[in-house]
Amino acid sequence: MPWCPKCGAEYRDGFTRCASCDVPLVDRLTDEQSKEANKSETERECDKMVLPEGMSSPIAVYTAKNRLEAESIEEMLRDNDIPVFDRPAAFRQIQSYSGADARFGVELVVDASQTSRARQLIEQMQAELAENELSEDDLARLAEEQAEQEPPAEMQDNASFRLLPVIAGVLVLALVVLYFVTR
């Protein structure tokens, strides 16, 4: 049976080209072709990527629920001299991470030599955030305090609102004149 040397798909006899990769099929895969065919989609994407300086073996260390969470963790890792980049997370990873309805997520990737340190820093950051989490009552109280501290903004006189009655009058007059002219 013929095989695709790129993706490893097996075809029935009579086929000569891979429908997905558009390459000629072969009768037998070499060991290297077999390894390439067994790579996951994520591994193939990593092979194509240009890695940041200081990163030779990328490993995903954390899957953030959204871009904001990912950016805050990335900033913390960079502040601790850990090269990091992000990529969209695969649906199956997000599904297991946050439930069946999840559609988005961001995977944070660091060099294999930095994984334990990065995971440690992420766990520490999450623990600190959990300790300092505010209740809804605390948030409401803080919002009230902030509103009391800020002086009320003065109303600014907007010239365009003063012209509004004049413009409306001119339009009405134009419509009345148009009505009599067309009669």
Q: Of 131, 151, 170, which closes a domain?
A: 131
The encoded tokens of residue 58 equal 């990328």
120 and 64 belong to one structural domain: yes
Range of the domain at 14: 1-38
113 and 58 belong to one structural domain: yes
pLDDT of residue 177: 93
Radius of gyration of the CA atoms of the chain, in A: 31
Mean pLDDT of 24-47: 67
Residues 6+ apart with CB under 8 A from 111: 54, 55, 56, 57, 58, 59, 82, 83
**Which single residue is written with the structure tokens 């994984």?**
115
- Contact, 58 vs 110, CB < 8 A? yes
Domain count, the chain: 2
d(CA 92, CA 55): 26
pLDDT tens-place string over residues 70-126 = 889 999 999 999 988 888 776 545 445 555 444 567 888 888 888 899 999 999 998
125 and 53 belong to one structural domain: yes
Quickly count: other Cβ atoms within 10 Å of residue 107's Cβ.
20
Q: How confident is the model at residue 19 (pLDDT cuts 50, 70, 90)?
A: confident
Lowest mean pLDDT among 1-5, 11-15, 99-103: 99-103
Query: Could you give the angle at the alpha carbon of 43 between the alpha carbons of 39 and 45, nearest 5°?
Result: 125
Is the model more confident about 125 or about 153?
A: 125
Q: How confident is the model at residue 26 (pLDDT cuts 50, 70, 90)?
A: confident
23 and 52 belong to one structural domain: no
pTM, to two decimals: 0.46
Query: Could you give the angle at the alpha carbon of 91 between the alpha carbons of 104 and 124, nearest 5°?
Result: 65
34 and 52 belong to one structural domain: no
pLDDT of residue 7: 76
Q: Helix H segments across the chain?
A: 31-37, 41-48, 67-79, 91-98, 115-131, 136-149, 159-182
